[in-house]
Structure 1
Amino acid sequence: MDFWGTVLVLFRRWYVVLPTFTLAVAAAAGIYSTIPTTYASSAVLILTTPTTGGSLPSNPRVPNGLTNPMLNFDRGLSISASILIAVMGSPDTATELGAVEGGDTAFKVTNGSSNIESLATGPYVFIEGESGTPEGAKDIVTRVIARTKAELVNRQEAVKAPKATYISAYEAVPPTVPLAQRGRKLRAVAAAVGVGVVASLFMAFTVESFVTNRRLRREAAARKAAETSASANHSQKASELNGRLPVGGPVVRP
């Protein structure tokens, strides 16, 4: 069936399409109201080296020259960032920070890329927090930042790095103002409306098929009845004609 044929069926069976689609819209409204609105906040950390570099001078009398940490990025900072991302992404860390599975608070620590396998892409740590309230979203981001900085210090202490060479985490983007996230609600509504459209088409063509089949059966029954009536009339007329004819052969007179 072509497009205009489908439109014609929908218009002809509007009394089925309209209630079905109305129920779908009502279900979408109910879904939209039941899914809670969440709020998201984010922050970006940049790992930097000290102004004197990542090593101590071999001769204390000749100290290292001072450098701009923002101009002193190397591969080591990218590796350190990837270590922090892996540590902060563990389930134990999430539980300790209160982001339990199934709760309304969650966070994500990435390098800004959707490719999980390429962690060491730069000295950047992207933090995203989500919660049921604006305050909760900003609070989880603040706590993740504090924990990331603490983990950075702990990892350097574990390898016994000189404190003068410690890497620091600079908040390039502080926790942002939480914004309402309605994408999940809108996707659920779109899915419900899509199901409603499909259901409306299904009901319209089901009723169309039922009505068409019933009409064809009635027409077939009417034709059969007409044929039966015509056959009966023909038999009756033949009987009447046979009744008027004389019985036996012709009479012969002498």
Structure 2
Amino acid sequence: MDFWRAIGVVLRRWYVALPALLLTLAGAYAVYTTVPPRYESTGVLSLTVPISGPSKLGDPRARIQETNPLLNFDSGLNMSASILVQILGSENVMTQLGASPYGQTTYEVNNGHPNPELLFSEPFVLIRGRSGDPESAKAIVSRVAQRAKVELTKRQKELKAPPTTYIVVTEILPPTNPIMLRTDRMRFTAAVLLLGMLAALASAFAAESIAAGLRRRRDEDGEPATRTAPASVDEPALQR
């Protein structure tokens, strides 16, 4: 019943709701055309064990093997991918690469799962770069991929791993050609449409409320005149 009552109010006050709706459509179009587009490029890195294996023979007389500490346990590659994700996703590294979490150019790094609890599942590093400029979106993915190789080599040097056992970082998906994202435009446009429709309904109900208030005031002003009319008719009879 309330729904049909609201429809009735809008139909009665169409001359208020219609201009508000037209202004909403104009505002939504303006937002859609003025919000700058965003572009996205993607790259994927894979971590693999070197052909020579995770160990090398040390002193033959002592029969000691030197092993890469990052590969000296199960899921070592997955752990290494997790370490890279944490390093590359830090704000300090992001700033050094010319990006910002809330800036024009930014990127996200994970191993295919946005849930941090699943970082140990796969030895992959997925890089997703975004920017208002298509070339910048592709360039940031390339910089992050190069930084991943540098960071992994640095960590293995710190652990004194034999160079022949270093984990191999392979670009299984080079930075893709940027594609334009429509999510930001559609989100802002939908927000303007929703707010505009609410404003149109509110204006229609406000006009209805004002009209009802004016009708009540006219009715109240007309009551005294109606009550005094019989007295004026009977007055000549009393004078007789």
Question: 2:238 maps to what in 1?
Answer: 239
Paired residue total:
230
Give CA deviations for 1:164-221 in whole Å, capped at 9, x if unaligned: 1110112222211211012011101100110001001111011001101211221232
Contact 2:106 2:129 in 1 (8 A): yes
CA RMSD between the two structures: 2.2
Bigger Cα displacement from structure 2, 199-208 vs 130-139: 130-139
Superposed displacement of residue 52, structure 1 = 3.1
Q: TM-score, normalised by structure 1?
A: 0.83
Superposed displacement of residue 102, structure 1 = 4.9
Unmatched tracts of structure 2, length 5 or more: 66-72
Superposed displacement of residue 57, structure 1 = 4.3
Question: 2:6 maps to what in 1?
Answer: 6
Question: 1:149 maps to what in 2?
Answer: 149
Letter in 1 for 2:238: S
Q: TM-score, normalised by structure 2?
A: 0.88
Bigger Cα displacement from structure 2, 187-196 vs 5-14: 5-14
Letter in 1 for 2:82: S
Letter in 2 for 1:157: K
Distance 1:104 1:87, change over 3 A: same
Superposed displacement of residue 103, structure 1 = 3.2
Alignment partner of 2:108: what SS? strand
Give CA deviations for 1:94-149 in whole Å, capped at 9, x if unaligned: 11111145531111111222212442222111100011121111111111111111
Question: 2:27 maps to what in 1?
Answer: 27
Superposed displacement of residue 161, structure 1 = 0.5
Contact 2:40 2:178 in 1 (8 A): yes
Bigger Cα displacement from structure 2, 73-82 vs 90-99: 73-82
Distance 1:75 1:134, change over 3 A: same
Alignment partner of 1:56: what SS? strand
Letter in 2 for 1:50: P
Give CA deviations for 1:62-86 in whole Å, capped at 9, x if unaligned: 9x9xxxxxxxx94111111111111
Unmatched tracts of structure 1, length 5 or more: 65-72, 244-254
Larger Rg: 1
Pair 1:94 & 2:106 matched: no
Distance 1:46 1:231, change over 3 A: farther
